[in-house]
């Protein structure tokens, strides 16, 4: 069964450094998403991406964040200058044309900012 | 803005029993989707079951079923014949347009 993959599984970085989190969505999906989950809290929406542009973003997704689909398969989240409070699990998700089928999540990248 | 409330932070049940997790939501929209996601200790988010708001029939996936009450804005998950592998956090989620709005989750423990 096709699945969303994410790399790395765990990233440790120093405050102020840039990080890029990578995702490979399910191949025939058209909508892509990033969510984050701070430990012990609920999952929060960051951004959605369709047709090579951002379709919706939350207040969390400020100028420090950017997304890109550099080729036909990868979908990346960049955090320009990490802060301690960026430490969280970051999930990539994708879905097909019909919203009813739901978003399929990757296994997540655990980001630790020191 | 939509909100999702899960009022049971933790629940536990004996193996093979049936358990119901509650979820309520608030929206002024008429067409939307509702989902239950499972998050085991590995922290992977796994889609369990989905419901379209315009469908009156409750969704069922094997041992998992929902009780969708649109007027009451309620969307509970029933797990029948619970198994040890059902131990996980369960998140209710509301979908409108592009984003999922999650509840705070219910930690379910299945006791052998």
Confirm if B56 and B66 have CB atoms less than 8 A apart. no
Tell me if chain B has a CB within 8 Å of the CB of A53: no
Kindly state the average pLDDT of the residues B90-99.
Answer: 89
Q: Are the Cβ atoms of B98 and A50 closer than 8 angstroms?
A: yes
Question: Does the pLDDT value for residue A99 go beyond 70?
Answer: no
The DSSP line for B6-46 is ---SEEEEETT--EEE--EEE-S-SS-EEEEEEE-TT---E
Write down the pLDDT at residue B44. Answer: 86
Over its C-alpha atoms, chain B yields an Rg (Å, rounded) of 13
Q: Which residues of B touch A108 (CB under 8 A)?
A: 43-45
Kindly state the average pLDDT of the residues B62-74.
Answer: 96
Write down the pLDDT at residue A72. Answer: 77
Q: How would you label B89-112 residue by residue, b for 16+ Cβ within 10 Å and e otherwise?
A: bbbbbbbbebbbbbbbbbebebee
Question: Does the pLDDT value for residue A36 go beyond 70?
Answer: yes
Kindly state the average pLDDT of the residues A45-57.
Answer: 94
Q: Are the Cβ atoms of A91 and B45 closer than 8 angstroms?
A: yes
Confirm if A89 and B43 have CB atoms less than 8 A apart. yes
pLDDT band at A70, cuts 50/70/90? confident
Strand A75-79 versus strand B64-69 pairing type: unpaired
Q: Are the Cβ atoms of A43 and B100 closer than 8 angstroms?
A: yes
B35: buried, middle or exposed (CB in 10 Å: 19+, 13-18, 0-12)? buried
Kindly state the average pLDDT of the residues B53-72.
Answer: 94
Q: Which of A22, A27, A20 lies closest to A6 in space, CA to CA?
A: A22
Mean pLDDT of chain A: 93
Q: Are the Cβ atoms of B100 and A50 closer than 8 angstroms?
A: no
> What whole-number distance in Å separates Cα of residue B38 and Cα of residue B64?
12
Confirm if A72 and A25 have CB atoms less than 8 A apart. no
Q: How many CB atoms lie within 10 A of CB B50?
A: 19
């Amino acid at each position: 069964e096709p699945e969303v993959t994410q790399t790395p599984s765990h990233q440790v970085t120093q405050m102020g450094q840039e990080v890029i989190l990578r995702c490979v969505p399910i191949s025939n999906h058209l909508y892509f998403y990033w969510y984050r989950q701070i430990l012990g809290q609920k999952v929060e929406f960051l951004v959605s991406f369709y047709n090579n542009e951002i379709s919706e973003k939350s207040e969390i997704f400020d100028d420090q964040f950017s997304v890109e689909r550099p080729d036909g398969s990868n979908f990346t989240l960049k955090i320009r200058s990490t802060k301690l409070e960026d430490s969280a699990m970051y999930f990539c998700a994708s879905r097909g044309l019909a919203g009813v089928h739901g978003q399929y999540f990757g296994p997540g990248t655990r980001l630790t900012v020191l | 803005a939509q909100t999702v409330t899960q009022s049971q932070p933790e629940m536990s049940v004996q193996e093979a029993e049936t358990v119901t997790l509650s979820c309520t939501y608030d929206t002024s929209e008429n067409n939307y989707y509702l989902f239950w996601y499972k998050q085991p200790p590995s922290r992977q988010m796994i889609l369990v079951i989905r419901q379209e708001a315009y469908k009156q029939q409750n969704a069922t996936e094997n041992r998992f079923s929902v009780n969708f009450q649109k007027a009451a804005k309620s969307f509970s998950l029933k797990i029948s014949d619970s198994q040890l592998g059902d131990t996980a956090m369960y998140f209710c989620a509301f979908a409108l347009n592009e984003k999922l709005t999650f509840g705070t989750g219910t930690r379910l423990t299945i006791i052998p």
